[in-house]
Structure 1
Amino acid sequence: MATISDVSRIAGVSKATVSRVINGTGQVKESTNLLVRQVMSELNYKPCSVAQTLATKRGNSVGLVLSDFTGSYFGILLKEASMSADRMGKQLLIADGKNHAVSELKAVHSLVDKKCDVIVLYSRQLSSEQVVALNQSIDIPLVHIGRELPVEAGYSISFDQKHAIELAVDHLAKAGHRSMMYLGPEPTTPTAMSRLNGFKQAIERRSELDICVNYAMSGFGYIEGYNATKDILKNRILPSAMVIASDDIAIGCIKALSEKGILVPKDVSIVSIDNDPCSLFTIPSLTTVDVPIQEIMAQAMLVAQQLSEGQNKFNSEIIRGKLIQRDSTQIVNIT
């Protein structure tokens, strides 16, 4: 692989001159510029993008901070971000927030150091106050996905979590269910808090139905849902319907139920959230609320491109999902 020293030697110029040609800085004769570029082409020399960034103070890149990489949800998100960056003609630089507030801050600052043009942040752990302070402390635009944030935090595009839960509860209530359980994570992240609070508020709005409610906790994931359901079956009477905070949890839940001979939806109806691609292929297929993460990320990347081009006036957006009715719910007799 050719190096800058090879280009310098064959072109008969200093490495500093080659560097000025690459970065378009300083005074270089046109004839020398053409010679250096011809040698670079003949050697198939590719300049180091990091070195170019440091020299020009422009990275021609979009940074993306995530706190999780597991599951198809984040796979879809990453794929869309990568395709959008390609269409923009920019590099996509990814940093791991490690599901911890301090790590999320470090991840953002690592991308600031790499001179990204704009940073897309999917934060699970930073408070609204921390995000606002972060936005005010750096000179690179921030685009937030997944959370509704104050305007001082920068542009944000979020999913209406409470509305998604409202759709789930409404579907079950109209189907005649008067005994429901919410199964989801401890309310330690904005998403978990919104989904749990959304369930409580949806039940309160239907107080005249006298719905019997129970709650159980489960981390996001198939295994977590499976184990949480096994604990439920040991200690509690199963409701006629469950609102489950994610498709992954629901899939684990259905397996645990089936192992005990409990059938979905005959014995218990289930509505979950996300519309993961695999939710169509479970047995039974999952009734779920679609979270259009691909569209959300595409819009976030579009705003990122416009911010990198100098536009700076955007109204934050809240996207709503829709119920996808499949086979995991059924109508029961209303008494």
Structure 2
Amino acid sequence: MATISDVSRIAGVSKATVSRVINGTGQVKESTRELVRSVMHELNYKPSSVAQALATKSGNSIGLVLSDFTGSYFGILLKQASVSADCMRKQLLIADGHNQAESELKAVHSLVEKKCDVIVLYSRMLSSEQIIALNQSIDIPLVNVGRQLPSDAGYSIAFDQKNAIKMAVDHLIDLGHRDITYIGPKPVTPTSISRSQGFTDAIKSHSHLTIDTRKLTCEFGFIEGYAAGKEFAKQKRLNTSIVAASDDIATGCIKALTEEGIHVPNDVSIISIDNDPYSAFIEPALTTVEVPIKSIMAQAMLVAQKMIEGNDSTQPEILCGQLIVRSSTRPATL
């Protein structure tokens, strides 16, 4: 692999001159500039993006911090970010937050050191106060994804989690269900807090009805949903419907209930949140509330581009989901 030393030796110029040509800094004769570029082309020399960033104080890149990489949710986020970055002709530099507040902060600062033009942050573990302090401590614009945050935290685009749960609850109640179990994680992250509280609020909005409710704790995941489904099946009197906090929880539940001889939706209706790509292909196909993941990330990247161009006046946004009715829910049996 060719190095900057190879280019300078063959072109007969100093490495400093080659560096100035690469970074467009300093004064270089046009003839010398053309010679250096010609040699670089012959040798297929690719300058270090990090070195360019240090020299020009701009990495021509967008940083992306994700709290996790597992599951189709983050896969869709990552793919859309990559597509958007390509369209913007920007490098996408990715850092892992490891689902820990300290790691998320380290990830952001690692991208600051690489001179990213803007950083897109999907944080699960940092508090609002920590993100505000972070935004005020760095000189790179911050775009927050998946969280509704104060303006001091930088631009934010979020999904209305509580409204999504309300849509799910309303759908079951419209079908005549009056026994509803919520299955989801402990309310510790912004998403899990919003979805759990959203269920409570949605039930309260139907206070004129007598609704029997229950909450089962279950982390996101197929295996976790399967275990929760087994626990649900132990009830002496089954609730007739389930609101699952995610499609993977619902999928695990359906398998567990089927093994216990409980049929979905004839015995128990299940509705969930996300509308992951597989949700239409399991049996029965999941009724779910779609989270517009691609739209959220595409808009976040568009705002990032505007910030790079010097326009930072974009207002925070909140997107709502859409109810997708499939086969896992049906009217309650009277």
For Structure 1 versus Structure 2, the TM-score category normalised by the shorter chain is over 0.9
Name the CA distance, whole Å, in 2 between partners of 1:327 and 1:235: 24
Show structure 1 runs of 4+ deviating over 4 A: none
2:285 is aligned to 285
Q: 2:63 is aligned with what amino acid?
A: G
Alignment of 1:245 with 2:216, yes or no, is no
Structure 1 letter corresponding to 2:226: Y
Provide closer, same or farther for how the CA distance between residues 235 and 175 of structure 1 changes in structure 2, counting only shifts above 3 A: closer
Deviation at 1:232, TM superposition (A): 2.9
Instruction: Determine if the alignment matches structure 1 residue 60 to structure 2 residue 60.
Output: yes
Query: Is 1:100 matched with 2:107?
Result: no
Letter of the structure 2 residue corresponding to residue 284 of structure 1 = P
Q: In the aligned structure 2, how far is the partner of 1:295 from the partner of 1:240?
A: 34
Question: What is the CA–CA distance in structure 2 between the aligned matches of 1:236 and 1:90, rounded to whole Å?
Answer: 58
Counterpart in 2 of 1:203? Answer: 203
After TM superposition, give the deviation of residue 233 of structure 1 in Å. 2.6
Q: Taking structure 1 as the reference length, what is the TM-score of the superposition? A: 0.98
Give, in whole Å, the separation in 2 of the partners of 1:190 and 1:293.
16
Specify the code of the residue in structure 2 equivalent to 1:291. V
Cα distance in 2, alignment partners of residues 154 and 244 from structure 1: 32
- TM-fit CA distance, 1:25: 1.6
Structure-2 separation of matches of 1:287 and 1:170? 13
- C-alpha distance 12-236 of structure 1, shift in aligned 2 (>3 A): farther
Show the 5 A alignment for 1:1-335.
1-234=1-234, 237-333=237-333
Cα RMSD of the aligned pairs, angstroms, is 1.0
Which stretch has the larger CA shift, 279-288 or 13-22? 13-22
1:235 CA displacement: 5.5
How many residues get paired? Answer: 334
Q: Which deviations, in whole Å up to 9, do the C-alpha atoms of 1:15-51 show, x marking residues without a partner?
A: 1111111111222222211111111111111111111
SS in structure 2 of the partner of residue 208 of structure 1? coil
Which AA in structure 2 matches 1:329? T
TM-score if structure 2 supplies the norm length? 0.98
Q: How far apart are the structure 1 equivalents of 2:148 and 2:265?
A: 34
- Tell me which amino acid in the other structure corresponds to 2:300: A
Cα deviation for residue 245 of structure 1 reads 0.2
For structure 2, list consecutive stretches of 5 or more residues without a partner in the other structure: none
Q: Secondary structure at the match of 2:208?
A: helix
Q: Can you list the C-alpha shifts for 1:259-283, whole angstroms capped at 9, x where unaligned?
A: 1111000110001000001000010
For 1:333 and 1:77, locate their aligned partners in 2 and report how far apart those are by CA, in whole Å. 40
- Residue-by-residue CA offset, 1:286-315 (whole Å, 9 max, x unaligned): 000000000110000000001011111011
How many Å separate the matches in 2 of 1:100 and 1:236? 39
Distance in 2, matches of 1:236 and 1:160, equals 35
Structure 1 residue 333: deviation in Å? 4.1
Mapped to 1, the partners of 2:304 and 2:151 lie a distance apart of: 16
In percent, how many aligned pairs have the same letter?
Answer: 69
Pairwise CA distance, 1:109 = 0.5
